[in-house]
A and B are shown apart, each in its own frame.
Chain A
């Protein structure tokens, strides 16, 4: 079945350093979504990318969707302690009747040391 792989699993950075997490799908995606889960919290939607090669920014966060629509990345510039959490990518299930299902990556746990 469809797989969505995310790397790295863990990332420890000093405050002010940059951070990137990568997401790769085994199948072409119609769109990709990113979620953030704060420690002790639940996943919260950040953004959706739809077009091949699309780049979107949210303040210090930059999201990219690959040209082949099989990979994506999230880059955070100059991390802050408020960026701590787990970042998930998710893509719609491929083929058949997906009923709105998403396949989530395993997540990248970001720790920011002050």
Chain B
């Protein structure tokens, strides 16, 4: 079974703090994704990576950056957290960048920025 894990289930941070969200997958998947989920807005793609050190902006990249130094690990960074970044953050992975395959999601991190 594919397993995607995220470093925290719940996180509380203060405005202006730098926040790191980590995601690890154990199936040697090429693709990894970061989404945020807000009520009524579904899943919105922040960033994705199709290979180590490769990254592409998604639909809402502003205020975020990412890092993928190893194939199994994809980090989302909030350089200076703001209250409008309070949300549920979901990491996902899929096998191949050549076609849109099933995405496997982690349990999510619920972030509250005060």
Which residues of A are at the interface with B, using a C-beta cutoff of 8 A?
Answer: 6, 9, 30-31, 33, 41-45, 48, 88, 90-93, 98-102, 104-107
Q: Is the interface of A mostly helix, strand, loop or mixed?
A: loop
Is there an interface contact between A100 and B42, defined as CB atoms closer than 8 Å?
A: no
The answer to the question of B50 belonging to the interface, with a C-beta cut-off of 8 Å to chain A, is: yes
With a CB–CB cut-off of 8 A, which chain A residues contact B103?
33, 43, 45, 90, 102
Number of A-B contacts (CB under 8 A): 63
Distance (whole angstroms) from the CB of B35 to the closest CB of chain A? 8
- Nearest-CB distance from A23 to chain B (Å)? 11
Size of interface on B: residues with Cβ below 8 Å to A: 28
| B45 proximal to A (CB < 8 A) | yes
Residues of B within 8 A of A33 (CB): 100, 102-103
Q: Which of B12-20, B61-69, B77-85, B104-112 contacts A (4 or more CB under 8 A)?
A: B104-112
Residue of B nearest to A104 (CB): B43
